[in-house]
Amino acid sequence: MNAAATRINKIVYVKLLLMAVFWGGTFIAGKIVAQRVGPYSAAFLRFAIASVFLCLTAIKMEGHLPALRLRHLFPIFLLGMTGVFAYNVFFFKGLKLIEASRAAIIIANNPIFIALFSALLFREQLTPTRLTGILISIGGAVLVITRGDLHMIASGAVGWGELFILGCVASWVTFSLLGKLLLAELSPLASVLYAALSGAVCLAVPAWQEGILTAWPFYTVVDWGALFYLGFFGTVLGFVWYYQGIQRIGAMKAGVFINFVPISAIVFSFFILHEPLSPSLLFGAAMVLSGVYLTNRETPSR
């Protein structure tokens, strides 16, 4: 590898690390926004902001907006309804009720369930190592959700906040599997761009019904700053840099950086939101990260 390629790879690694930091920060920004902005309004504004910058990014990178064909419209709509509409409504509803650090650990199981359902639906090989990782990670999530008291599940005492965040996981897994199945013809940037536009359009009506037109003048500077962070840093830069990493160093190496997302979320939650670091949270986080590592450590032979 020559010096120029080495320098480019170093830049990619820095971008991927910043991506993980930005995505970890979305839980803190989301927690701030969720206290004063309705979930539909917050989700709409996040992706309205993101859509503007994604359009500008696409034009800068490709010279024009990516072309769509008629057969792409329904898959794009499904992506917008799952990865944008449903995910973000659950996200803001959940963060209104539970700690940002706890939500981050639960959502860190996304790769686990994507791997599990990919094996079930697409016949991808599920090796013993991956199966072990799945079980460890799910066990860690259960520990975090129940705060170390497993009797909460039997007694039905798991709160709505945890259930909403589990809805985030279900929405993102569906989004990822639909993207894999239906959008092989589109670039990742085009998929994210049109999913964001579709989701923002679908969120406009419930946001209006929620009262966004009368409420937005009363949002604070902190609210708008958090919304901008979610839209620009958490969505545009995060996704663009992630896909640049995949193109440069491969999906497996780039995907490893996602493990830093819950770590950065926990650190930010402790220092910014002053959330406690309970033993169940820390031990559950270690189990989730270990499980995600085992699940993505090897590439099954075909």
Q: Where are the domains of the chain?
A: 3-296
Mean pLDDT is highest, among 151-155, 160-164, 221-225, 271-275, for 221-225
- The helix or strand, by DSSP H or E, that contains position 40, with its residue range, turns out to be helix 39-62
- Say how far apart CA 293 and CA 112 lie, in whole Å: 10
Mean pLDDT is highest, among 59-63, 65-69, 162-166, 199-203, for 199-203
pLDDT digits (tens, 9 = 90+) for 108-126: 878 778 777 877 777 767 7
For 107, the token pair is 């959502």
41-72 as b/e, with b when 16 or more CB fall inside 10 Å? Answer: bbbbbbbbbbbbbbeebbeeeeeeebeeeeeb
Structure-token match 């409420």, residue found: 215
Which residue has better confidence, 193 or 239?
193
Residue 227 and residue 39 in contact, taking contact as beta carbons nearer than 8 Å:
no
- Say how far apart CA 76 and CA 67 lie, in whole Å: 13
What are the distances in angstroms from CA 88 to CA 4, 63, 130, 257?
Answer: 40, 30, 29, 22
Determine the pLDDT at residue 69.
85
Mean pLDDT within 75-80? 90
Mean pLDDT within 125-137? 80
- Say how far apart CA 33 and CA 226 lie, in whole Å: 6
- Say how far apart CA 99 and CA 167 lie, in whole Å: 16
Cα four-point dihedral sign 170, 171, 174, 179: negative
Q: What share of the chain is helix, strand, coil (3-state, %, to 5)?
A: 80, 0, 20
For 263, the token pair is 């770590």
Burial class (CB in 10 A: 0-12, 13-18, 19+), 117: middle
pLDDT digits (tens, 9 = 90+) for 189-214: 888 899 999 999 999 999 999 999 99
- Say how far apart CA 169 and CA 163 lie, in whole Å: 10
Structure-token match 């536009």, residue found: 197
Which residue has better confidence, 109 or 2?
109
Per DSSP, helices labelled H in 123-159 are 128-145, 151-155
Determine the pLDDT at residue 116.
79
- The helix or strand, by DSSP H or E, that contains position 4, with its residue range, turns out to be helix 3-34
Closest to 98 measured CA to CA, from 267, 283, 284, 275: 275
Structure letter (DSSP) for residue 72: G
Determine the pLDDT at residue 158.
63
One-letter identity of residue 194: Y
Q: At what angle do helices 260-271 and 3-34 cross, to 10 degrees?
A: 50
- Say how far apart CA 34 and CA 96 lie, in whole Å: 5
- For the entire predicted model, the pTM comes to 0.84
One-letter identity of residue 42: A
Per DSSP, helices labelled H in 63-99 are 73-79, 87-95
